[in-house]
Amino acid sequence: MQGKSVVVTGAARGIGNAIAHVLAGKGARVALIDKDAAALDAAVGVLSNQGCEAYPVAAELGPRAACHDAFRQAAQALGRVDALVNNAGVYIRTPMEEIEDPEWDLIFDICLRAVFHLSVAAVEHMRGHGAGRIVNIASVDGFVAFPQMAHYAAAKAGVISLTRTMGLAYAPEGILVNGVAPGAVETGPMQQNDYMKNLAPRIPMKRGGKPEEIAEAVAFLASDANTYMAGETMIVSGGLVIA
């Protein structure tokens, strides 16, 4: 990733922040997009103090105009974008019969609609350079039925399908679109109500993943080392999906 310029969404904390740190540690210049301006500035400050080149873009993702504007700001800060990582998401557990339209719309706006609009913006930019990488963060919930989070699972299944479609559409142009589907990862939402503690025994590796482990998979797909993957989603779950 040395010398590459990467945009990471949902990068103020959690997996997105780990992705930004891992990519910056490998020599990339990074633009971090997040709706939490204070957390975003803190995250960029940490990277800057480590000698990394990082830029903040505060934005509420979802609608087309907001996504294209956020990407434009990131591209202006970096000068050029070699890779986009669509990580921003909303993780809400609600019993299926209790899901209301506003919550359904929120999940789909952030987890799927924003992925589409940001990717379109990235493709328009990357065409000018003749190559690029887009990495979409999906979830094992897009592969495995998950009644406690039907809206989230459906949105992530949509991300997997969109990744396949965009991978097919843009591979001939040298723009490789792929995804990473994390399993249970040690982040704040997964720690609530002992969820990770109860889930870990079902995982063949007997533990949750670390955000940095997801970030390393992203780093490969976002780099020039990825020369022959397009439209594919890499599952990183400690074996959870085969248990």
Q: Which amino acids are annotated catalytic?
A: 152
According to DSSP, the β-strands at 54-58 and 83-86 are unpaired
Give, in degrees to the nearest 5, the angle at Cα 230 between 168 and 124: 65
45/125 Cα distance (integer angstroms): 27
Amino acid at 79: G
State the CB neighbour count (10 A cutoff) for residue 94.
16
> What proportions of the chain, in percent to the nearest 5, are helix, strand and coil?
55, 15, 30
* Cα of 63 vs its chain's centroid, Å: 17
Bridge partners of 58, per DSSP, are 34
For residue 6, give the H/E element and its range: strand 5-9
Structural tokens at position 51: 């000698």
Q: How many CB atoms lie within 10 A of CB 57?
A: 23
Residue 1: C-alpha distances to residues 46, 162, 222 (Å):
20, 25, 8
Q: Let me know if 25 is exposed, middle or buried by CB neighbors in 10 A (0-12, 13-18, 19+).
A: middle
